[in-house]
Chain A
Amino acid sequence: MARLLQRLGLRCLGIVEQLGRIALFALSLSRAVLSPPARPGRVVQEVFDVGVLSLVIVCISGAAVGMVLGLQGYNTLIRFGAEESLGAVVGLSLIRELGPVLTGLLVTGRAGSAMAAEIATMVATEQLDGLRMMSVDPVHLVAMPKAVAMVVAMPLLSALFIVCAIFGGYVAGVEILGVDSGTYFSSLESSVDFRDDVAGSLLKALVFGVVVGLIATYRGYTSEPTSAGVSASTTATVVVSSVTILVFDYFITALWGV
């Protein structure tokens, strides 16, 4: 029993220590954002890597999710004779929940893992040590532009996901199942509030961008300088970011009603 408690205590201390390290890393990232030079060129390049290269996966996934929602929503609503509310059901579920959450998970898998792997490879090949020896802060040159790019790209990708999904819902509901086009859009328009729903959705995506950007850069930056370290940091980024997104989603919804 004593040994069990001891192990539990050690585990808890380990988690607290890890959280402390992440907080310190977040602090150094924030300091890097505020201190010159701003490195706009590198940030734009990273936004391209995170955002533009994720466009296809986000658009296709968005359209597919929207079509499934259209089909499932129609089949459920028709039981209650409320198929004219399909636009509202598809729009609200996408804008308030599925858009930011699924985009967060998709971007974590595509860009977050790549980000962690790239930084971890730089650790393994002594590139970050090389920067330190040139008196260049690796957090400023390497991690900061990637984290900023993730924060910028996530809300934009989430918005794009939602637009594609609403279009997918339209194709399934209107074009395939025969719901009236005007009814679909009017129910969508009348039920969605910009401040509560759209701004809240963008805020959620922004928070997810911060979470994924921080976890991916931290995991890469603190990885072991081996090939196993690269793989471990990549896996940890995907797992920890995905779970954190889902947990944060609950708290944001519960606390802010978004």
Chain B
Amino acid sequence: MDPSPLPDPHVQLRGVRLAFGRRRVFDGLDCDFERGSICVLLGGSGSGKSTLLRLVGGLLAPDAGRIAVAGQEVVGSSWRELREIRNKLGMMFQGGALLDSLSVYQNLALPLRERLRMREPEIAARIQLQLAAVGLEGTESLLPRQLSGGMIKRAALARALISEPEILLCDEPFSGLDPLTVHRIEALLLEVNESLGMTLVLSSHHIPSTLRMADRLLLLMDGGAVAGTPQELLHHGDARIREFLDEDAAPAGAHASRRSHS
């Protein structure tokens, strides 16, 4: 458990408890996600990575505890307050969650029309840019069922990013993608993080990209979490933590060191 507070938390969880029936997922979880940082959630299947993202987005209510996004309390908020909080959030779901009755263009246009009330020419221009960024040019008129799994992921990421939220929550952004696309998505996420100062909270099983990108890791285990930089967790005293990260990993903290040089 690592409750050590960060200097400028963008998202803060305190004493979060959650159980599904008899299965306790979080038992007094405390953690912070620093403003402008990249934090990767790690953990075995069923450890609560997706659940944690859903809690931050207000899609699930904890049994107890506090969750604050940019200083605004999520738990117990009204629909109007939640709307205000969600205007700061973008979320990419594991399965994409694209509306299957709408084309890729219409899916991407949805947050721009509904949330930002943009005009059609601006919407069209921004969609072109965003689709190019994820390598999906020419797919505007396709329906989600006409896309491959990897393309759905990229379209979902484009939709989550298109309204330029303060905080991006990504559930398994790299699963099911080929290595080239993984690098492309990594580069895109690093770019939005650096250019827009977007806080990124990702859940991932992809250890190499995790170690390349993350400023901070949060390993969910035993109803709580162990937090630290990639280097700290790679040399952690608990053997289970070291074993979890011991894969054919890329040099740890490459992104962090690149940042410190820039």
Interface residues of A (CB under 8 A from B): 122, 125-127, 129-137, 141
Q: Do A127 and B86 form a contact, CB below 8 Å, given A133-B57, A134-B114, A135-B115?
A: no
Q: Do A134 and B57 form a contact, CB below 8 Å, given A126-B93, A127-B99?
A: no
Interface residues of B (CB under 8 A from A): 54, 57-59, 79, 83, 86-87, 89-91, 93-95, 97-100, 110-111, 114-115, 159, 163
The 22 sampled A-B contact pairs (Cβ below 8 Å) are A122-B99, A125-B95, A126-B94, A126-B95, A127-B97, A127-B99, A129-B57, A129-B59, A130-B91, A130-B93, A131-B110, A132-B57, A132-B58, A133-B89, A133-B90, A134-B110, A134-B111, A134-B114, A134-B159, A134-B163, A135-B111, A136-B114
CB within 8 Å: A-B pair count: 54
What's the minimum C-beta distance from A227 to chain B, rounded to whole angstroms? 14
Q: Which of B79, B83, B87, B98 contacts A130 (CB 8 A)?
A: B98
A135 contacts B87, C-beta separation under 8 Å: yes
Q: How far is the CA of A125 from the CA of B96 in the complex (A)?
A: 8
Chain B positions within 8 Å of A130 at CB level:
91, 93, 97-99
Q: Do A135 and B95 form a contact, CB below 8 Å, given A125-B100, A127-B100?
A: no
Q: How far is the CA of A215 from the CA of B89 in the complex (A)?
A: 33
Q: Which of B86, B159, B163 contacts A132 (CB 8 A)?
A: B86
Chain A positions within 8 Å of B99 at CB level:
122, 127, 130-131
Chain B positions within 8 Å of A127 at CB level:
97-100
What's the minimum C-beta distance from B68 to chain A, rounded to whole angstroms? 17
Chain B positions within 8 Å of A134 at CB level:
86, 110-111, 114-115, 159, 163
Chain A positions within 8 Å of B100 at CB level:
122, 125, 127
Which residue, B86, B99, B100, has most C-beta atoms of chain A within 10 A? Answer: B99
Q: How far is the CA of A46 from the CA of B231 in the complex (A)?
A: 55
What's the minimum C-beta distance from B93 to chain A, rounded to whole angstroms? 5
A125 contacts B114, C-beta separation under 8 Å: no
Chain B positions within 8 Å of A125 at CB level:
95, 97, 100
A129 contacts B97, C-beta separation under 8 Å: yes
- 9 more CB-based (< 8 A) A-B contacts, given A122-B99, A131-B110: A125-B95, A125-B100, A126-B93, A130-B98, A131-B99, A132-B86, A133-B86, A135-B87, A136-B114
Q: How far is the CA of A129 from the CA of B156 in the complex (A)?
A: 13
What's the minimum C-beta distance from A45 to chain B, rounded to whole angstroms? 9
A135 contacts B97, C-beta separation under 8 Å: no
Q: How far is the CA of A30 from the CA of B83 in the complex (A)?
A: 20
- Which 4 pairs of residues, A with B, have the shortest CB-CB distance? A130-B97, A126-B97, A133-B91, A134-B111
Q: How far is the CA of A132 from the CA of B82 in the complex (A)?
A: 9
Chain A positions within 8 Å of B91 at CB level:
130, 133
